[in-house]
Chains A and B, each alone.
Chain A
Amino acid sequence: MTTPLALKVNGNAVSVQVEPRTLLVQLLRETLRLTGTHVGCDTGQCGACTVHLDGRAVKSCTMLAVQAAGCEITTIEGVAAPSGDLHPMQAAFKEHHGLQCGFCTPGMVMNAIDLARSKADLSEAEVRGGLDGNLCRCTGYQNIVKAVLAGAAAMRS
């Protein structure tokens, strides 16, 4: 049994048939082949699957695809400029070595962009608290925090 679903992903209109039990992350990764969004857990804990839904960060493993009907989704593939130039937050992660294996990175960047938009002049403690839903096993977070602070500043300028 499938059901029709229409939404926008990275600016493109998408209409597909999905099983009702399909998760948003499965739609993105498997149906649309947008594999930049990762799956790191099955309990909504790691944040590797974070995307933007109507501009706000959500964990795409914790919602059904059909719940995104009519919404606008942005994934990591939709963040850089069409020219390929990195978004200021992506550039800050590179500059400050905020990634190692890269697996948590798309989720970190999506969450960080939302965090930066949500409040001007984030403190380090606010960034650490704001990243609470994103696990990284590689970096020890220090350079991610640095990157988010720098990226947020760059987004404002």
Chain B
Amino acid sequence: MSESLLGQSVRRKEDYRFLTGSGTYTDDVTVPGQLYAFFLRSPHAHARIRAIDTAAAKAAPGVVAVYVGTDLQGKVNGLPCGWLITGIDGQPMKEPVHPPLAQGKVRHVGDQVAMIVAESLNQAKDASELIEVDYEVLPACVDPAQARAPGAPLVHDDVPDNTCYVWGLGDKAATDAAFAQAAHVTTLEYINNRLIPNAIEPRAAVAQYHRGDDSYTLHVTSQNPHVERLLMTAFVLGLPEHKVRVIAPDVGGGFGSKIFLYAEETVLTWAAGQIKRPIKWTAERSESFLADAHGRDHVTKAELALDKHGKFLALRVHTTAGLGAYLSTFASSVPTILYATLLAGQYTTPNIYCEVTSVFTHTAPVDAYRGAGRPEATYVVERIVETAAREMKIDPAEIRRRNFITQFPYQTPVALCYDIGNYEGTLSEAMRVADVPGFEVRRKEAEARGKLRGLGYSAYIEACGLAPSNIAGALGARAGLYEAGEVRVHPTGKVTVFTGSHSHGQGHETTFAQVVAQRLGMSVEDIDVVHGDTGRIAFGMGTYGSRSIAVGGAAIVRALDKVVAKGKKIAAHLLEAAEGDIEFENGEFTVAGTDKKVPFAQVALTAYVPHNYPLDKLEPGLNEMAFYDPTNFTFPAGCHICEVEIDRATGETRIVNFTAVDDFGKIINPMIVEGQVHGGLTQGIGQALLEACVYDKESGQLITGSMMDYALPRADDVPNFKVSTQETPCTHNPLGVKGCGEAGAIGAPAAVINAITAALWPLGVRDIPMPATPQTVWRALQTAPKARSGRA
């Protein structure tokens, strides 16, 4: 058999168009007669709208229409939330209306107040300045920790205490009882810093109405166009689903922020139908800061109970999660289902209880951002484990080893059942690559140069490919969690694959082609992968939660199974053999034990030119589709080790070594996987060292509203990563794959902060908040209990 294509770093099929400027991103789409939209946004965090005067704007040159909230009343519904959380009081979460254009009140800086449509963008912008909004400014609350304080301003009048729900997971009584037995308890308080995703392509949309058949086409920067269409037509606009085609063409990064149904494209689509002309909207970066869904924003207290040998007895976690002003599409599930379920980490902690209070604040909505709940959980677990080790004077690697799960399948006390893993394997390999034994020598050498050096671990686990649908449904999901794949074999034997997952950088056009090419014995050049178009693809749930290969790839394998099965029937007929004797390998159907064979391409041709064909028993054609609903999550896991040097004079932290050893199960394209890890690590390091979304507590203004104020990692902020993989194949999907897109962002923050706190521990510093900017670290150095003696 020829060398397997699976596991090969095939260079990407999509690169040529991106490298030559011939990709098609949404803003590149221009339609004849196209108008431009501009959104007037709230300058206030919280205000009552007394009146809006749009007369002058409507009369301005080039203006075609101006819409405000009242124009949409009774025509455009609120934006829906896709996950219903039920609180510990048995009550459903509060779901206040999320109007696409503000109705009566604005609730965060950047809230949409009006949409101006004009012949040119400049005309729309000019006209927006003519709109008079009479605001009665009200006090605002931007801090989740303050949202339930007595007298805190309410975001929604019908949501008391700003509380969406109080939700719990785990056995509270057993956990409390275990704490009573503890030899040692470690307590930590955390702020998981609020982040702004900042895909480099801003959100954009082009909406067209087609008079001829009363239909719509929407090009939009989306990670899941079918879900976008379903939510928009069924819940918000009441349009017939089959009359709306949603195309997510080339999309310039998502990281979660392009999963959601947003107000802008919804109003744009509605208005295109009203005006009966195409309309384009492209966000400016300042709008991305103000109105893309943000991530994280947790305030947490955690306690870990240990016996005297450092065995974990129980973990108790209380988290307050900020949701922003409105419930974004999957906001409710992120700090609950995707967070508390991961609190076992890689450990056998027998008792875990987590309580989450999710609150509204006068800020942009918060939803899934790369990792979505799992980075927050990993941060809680890996920081407290490392801190407990230091407090108990146990080596941080050793305390992990004493608590690792080693028997699989493993049922955690927080609902998940891990199918497989090898945590000792990834830890010890990471320690070898990071040269942990040599650290002490490096630390002394750094000390001689006046630098503090620290090494920190993060042994993370994540749950990917959220599934199965029926269990998720029981937990409140309002959507299915399967994926669709279709394999269309053309008469000449070339293949087009249609996938419901979406690539916005992940390289599906190559990875999925490798899967198909391997199975059908073809070259990747003979296979095209189509994604991101409801007009061409039957259905799909899109790409989020590192699900594409584990769920989308598996759906394609199931469709391939059907192609091969039908091909065998055709081959049996052609070769005059029994179907059970036909084998398929390397692109040829053979009769077992003979030299009789027929190539795949000839079977394909026969299927479409069925002259010599069992028409009485078999339909012509070779086009198969499958829906795949996984039986469980996948559980990628691994170990990150970060080594930092801190400049005592400036507080600046440099990452001098970063090692990641990940277990993603089987790997199709190692080059692409490595790239995903690099990108994830960089976002994780960004969270740990650089990125902070800051709202002014008084005014509610977004202080970090541009790339000059919000520090995204640049090329010289990150090191060369040492990345490698180990493999325990997933037990329940046909490719044995687990997913790799989020791992870096999940593991890295704890590794970085554990390294910094390791360096500062001798000075008496126990914790450092994220982002550990030079100023933050410098302050900690100045106030450290042992600032002087620690210098020795």
Contact = CB atoms under 8 A, between A and B. Distances in A.
Interface stretch (A52-60, A65-73, A125-133): A125-133
Interface string A38-64: 111111011010000000000000000
Interface in B439-485: none
Interface of B: 9, 11-12, 14-25, 27-28, 30, 122, 198-202, 250-253, 255, 282, 284-286, 504-507, 671-672, 674-683, 706-708, 712-716, 718, 720-721, 744
A36 B284 CA distance: 18
Given A35-B28, A131-B715, A141-B718, A109 B11 contact: no
A102 B14 contact: yes
A76 B21 contact: yes
21 contacts: A29-B27, A39-B27, A42-B286, A45-B706, A75-B21, A76-B21, A90-B20, A93-B15, A93-B19, A97-B675, A102-B14, A102-B250, A102-B252, A104-B200, A105-B18, A127-B715, A131-B716, A132-B716, A134-B715, A143-B678, A145-B720
Contacts of A42: 284-286, 706
Nearest to A40: B200
Contacts of A21: 122
Given A100-B676, A101-B18, 11 more contacts: A21-B122, A46-B200, A93-B19, A94-B12, A101-B199, A101-B250, A103-B199, A105-B18, A124-B720, A128-B715, A142-B721
A21 to B, nearest CB: 7
A125 B718 CA distance: 11
A39 to B, nearest CB: 7
Given A101-B253, A102-B252, A94 B19 contact: yes
- In the complex, the 5 A-B pairs of residues with the closest C-beta atoms, listed nearest first: A36-B21, A102-B18, A103-B252, A101-B505, A140-B678
B255 A137 contact: yes
Contacts of B282: 39
Nearest to A96: B671
A100 B674 CA distance: 11
Chain B: interface secondary structure? Answer: loop
A121 interface: no
Contacts of B671: 97
A97 B679 CA distance: 12
B351 to A, nearest CB: 38
Q: Considering residues A34, A35, A124, A144, which has the most beta carbons from chain B within 10 angstroms of its beta carbon? A: A35
Given A46-B200, A137-B255, A99 B11 contact: no
Nearest to B22: A36
Interface string A105-138: 1100100000000000000110111011011111
B728 to A, nearest CB: 25
A106 B22 CA distance: 10
Interface string A1-34: 0000000000000000001010000000100011
A105 B16 CA distance: 11
Nearest to A77: B21
Contacts of B250: 101-102
B20 A97 contact: no
Interface residues of A, number: 57
A152 interface: no
Nearest to B11: A94
Nearest to A130: B715
B20 A80 contact: yes
A43 B708 contact: yes
Contacts of A35: 21, 24-25, 27-28
A86 interface: yes
Contacts of A34: 21
B21 A37 contact: yes
Contact of A141 (B18, B504, B682): B682
A46 B252 CA distance: 13
Contacts of B12: 94, 97
Given A101-B251, A101-B504, A141-B715, A95 B11 contact: yes
A109 B15 CA distance: 13
A140 B718 contact: yes
A84 B682 CA distance: 33
B745 to A, nearest CB: 10
Residue among A21, A46, A93, A100 with the most chain B CB within 10 A?
A100
A70 B677 CA distance: 45
A4 B759 CA distance: 62
Contacts of A97: 9, 11-12, 671-672, 674-675
A94 B9 CA distance: 12
A23 to B, nearest CB: 11
Given A36-B20, A103-B252, A138-B679, A41 B707 contact: yes
A43 B507 contact: no
B718 to A, nearest CB: 6
A142 B681 CA distance: 11
B706 A43 contact: yes
Q: Interface centre among A41, A124, A143, by most B CB within 10 Å?
A: A41
Contacts of A137: 198-200, 253, 255, 679, 683, 712
A129 B252 contact: no
A99 B200 contact: no
A5 B286 CA distance: 30
B200 A132 contact: no
Nearest to A47: B200
Contacts of A41: 285, 706-707
Contact of B714 (A101, A125, A135): A135
Contacts of A103: 25, 199-201, 252-253
B714 A132 contact: yes
Contacts of A33: 30
Contact of A145 (B255, B285, B681, B715): B715
Contacts of B27: 29, 35, 39
Contacts of B720: 124, 142, 145
